[in-house]
Amino acid sequence: MISVITPVYNGASFIEACIKVVIEQNCSDFEHIIVDGGSQDNTVEIIKQYAEKYPHIRWISEADQGQSDAMNKGIKMAKGDIIAILNVDDYYEPNVLNKIEKLFQSLPEPSLLVGNCNIWDNQGNLKEVNKPSKLHITDLLLGWTFTKPPVNPSAYFYHKSLHDKIGCYNISENYAMDIDFLLRAVQVAKVTYIDETWGNFRYLEGTKSVQDAKNGQGEKRYQQLLQKYRKKLPIFLQIYMLILSRVRYFSRHPQDVIPSILKRIKLT
């Protein structure tokens, strides 16, 4: 069974569309767990209306400590062995869940299955297709300049048992919790990338992701997270990554090679 988990707080503008997207997947064996953080708008009323009609919808509404805490609650509630996180304003491509269910039948446990993700702006324009084909820990720790990580959980799925090995989402991190999870997951799980588009990420003005990027805190937080995990690597991998990052940098910025050499020998 696939357990789709949607954390939400004051998401009345998107919750109905989110619920419909999961229903329209027509998956043979799934549940949709909606974890509401005590919304003050009519989010809960909309959830109730659909939950009365569709038995695959399970939900709770109570105060929480943020998005990570909400996702952890959903994981504890999950009856399925496959976890899917679908944020309230994101959505799947048609018939993705049935495809995921079939793919997992041949994957060892625990596995992390990753596809591509469309990134949309406020006007409905396609900004980019995220294709995170390089998912080794050393690739991800090189940072966004060299390797783009999965940008949104609508495009990746994993065995629930993975949490038994790496723990839950970090409740003290409510911005980069996805990256923190992935940096732990790829070191334990069997990682499989498939070059197909499964998810859609709305990069919308006013959301916390956009605001975090605009004020510069997102990049700062991201770099701090990468540094934290780099320090945990064996020393030989730290050296390897340092060399690789320098080689890649100078291959893309050949004009910086000579000034760098001169600076090293103190001639500038």
- How crowded is residue 216: how many other Cβ atoms within 10 Å of its Cβ? 9
Torsion of CA 195, 170, 76, 43, to 10 degrees: -80
Beta strands in 71-122 (DSSP E): 82-85, 91-92, 111-120
Q: How far apart are CA 100 and CA 36, in angstroms?
A: 26
With CA atoms as reference, report the closest residue to 203 among 94, 133, 126.
Answer: 126
pLDDT tens, N- to C-terminus, the chain (268 residues): 999 999 999 999 999 999 999 999 999 899 999 999 999 999 999 999 999 999 999 999 999 999 999 999 999 999 999 999 999 999 999 999 999 999 999 999 999 999 999 999 989 999 999 999 999 999 999 888 888 999 999 999 999 999 999 999 999 988 889 999 999 999 999 999 999 999 999 998 767 666 766 777 878 888 899 999 999 988 988 887 788 777 765 666 576 544 544 444 454 4
Which residues sit opposite 64 in a β-bridge? none
Q: 143-146: which pairs have CB atoms within 8 A and are 24 or more residues apart?
A: 143/222, 143/223, 143/226, 143/245, 144/222, 146/245, 146/248
Residues 211 and 253 in one domain: no
235 by DSSP, 3-state: which? Answer: helix
Residues 206 and 254 in one domain: no
Residues 166 and 207 in one domain: yes
**261: domain range?**
234-268
Residues 187 and 157 in one domain: yes
Do the beta carbons of residue 94 and residue 196 sit within 8 Å? no
How much is the pLDDT for 64?
Answer: 95
Residues 249 and 116 in one domain: no
Non-local (6+) Cβ contacts of 264 within 8 A are: none
pTM passes above 0.85: yes
Count of the separate structural domains present in the chain: 2
How much is the pLDDT for 260?
Answer: 47
Residues 120 and 217 in one domain: yes
How much is the pLDDT for 173?
Answer: 86
- The answer, yes or no, to whether the previous bond of 254 is cis (omega within 30 of 0) is no
How much is the pLDDT for 253?
Answer: 58
Residues 260 and 132 in one domain: no
Q: Tokens for 186, please give them.
A: 């790829």
64 by DSSP, 3-state: which? Answer: coil
Provide the H-helix boundaries in 151-195.
162-166, 177-185
For 132-187, the pLDDT digits (tens) are 999 999 999 988 888 899 999 999 999 999 999 999 999 998 888 999 999 999 99
How much is the pLDDT for 262?
Answer: 45
Sign of CA dihedral 183, 185, 191, 194: negative
The tally of CA atoms less than 13 A away on the side-chain side of residue 144 is: 11
Residues 148 and 192 in one domain: yes
With CA atoms as reference, report the closest residue to 132 among 91, 166, 182.
Answer: 182
Cα separations (Å) of 197 from 19, 91, 263? 20, 12, 45
Residues 23 and 144 in one domain: yes
Residues 250 and 217 in one domain: no
How much is the pLDDT for 267?
Answer: 46
Angle 125-84-31 (CA atoms, 0-180°, nearest 5)? 115
243 by DSSP, 3-state: which? Answer: helix
Residues 25 and 128 in one domain: yes
Residues 85 and 159 in one domain: yes
